[in-house]
Amino acid sequence: MRFKGIKLLGLFTIALGVMAVGASVAQALELDPIKDLEPIKGIWSVNKQSIISPLLPEVQVVELEKKEGVILTKSGLSKLEFTCTSVEYLDALLHPSGGTSIKAIHLRGCTLKLGGVEQKACVPSSPDTAEASGVVTILNVTSQVYLHLVYNEKDKPISEEVIELVVPEGGVGGTFVELRYPKGCSLTATKITGVIAFKDCEKLFLEEKAIHLFVEGPLSNLKYGTNLMVLDGGVPVRLVGGHLNQTWSAH
């Protein structure tokens, strides 16, 4: 089995501004020898209707699936575990074009384990948060939704899956955030780069639902320094504000 290509299904942009579709697609190709992208326009649907109101729907993380989110990576030969107890979006709005704008993503209650042992001297933070606060803020992220086609050795499609490919503000090769540590910690400031691919864990991204549970999907290539990072657990997202608990999907 091999990945032959992805068809562009729509635009799901998580950012303060929207990145051009063509540029993001070109950057995504640098990650994997994927060819034959077929653009297909995408829009958002709320209650089975296109978004036309000037009151843009807002989305928010409900509560982490396992009460905490875990990101796994390595430092030398030792396993690193970053655990955060909550994720919160700031002004996350769905747009009629199929894009989404989020001013910031706040990770709170973050701690670190090295080799399975909590490192109390290494509580992480980011450039926009207080030292040793356990709060990490990610700014200006963009993403797109794709229909990812899986082919067999005879070039016949055997399955397809909708994924959300997320890139940092600078595109592929840019930085999501730099993790910083207090003085006295054995670790040094390290950048998180690459791309993240999310999928609806029930493969229902195209179905109208009140809550979509996103987990890491194929084509993800997130790096902590030079080491691969893996996301463990799911992120449930729903509409809030004036559209609280209404159903939504991508088309």
Residue-level pLDDT at 55: 84
Phi, psi of 63 (to 5 degrees): -150, 140
Confidence of residue 132 (pLDDT cuts 50, 70, 90): very high
Model confidence over 52-102: pLDDT tens digits? Answer: 877 889 999 987 766 666 777 766 668 889 999 999 999 888 877 767 778
pLDDT of residue 140: 87
Tens-digit pLDDT profile for residues 152-171: 777 776 677 777 778 888 88
Quote the pLDDT of residue 74.
67
Nearest to 220 by CA among 167, 169, 177: 167
| Predicted pLDDT at 77 | 65
Tell me the backbone φ, ψ of residue 170, rounded to 5 degrees: -85, 5
Residue 220 belongs to domain spanning:
2-250
pLDDT tens for each residue of 180-211: 999 999 999 999 999 888 888 888 988 999 99
The pLDDT-based confidence of 10 (bands split at 50, 70, 90) is very low
CA–CA separation, 194 and 190 (whole Å): 13
Q: How many domains does the chain have?
A: 1
User: Which has more pLDDT, 20 or 144?
Assistant: 144
Residue 67 confidence (pLDDT): 64
**Does 35 have pLDDT greater than 70?**
no
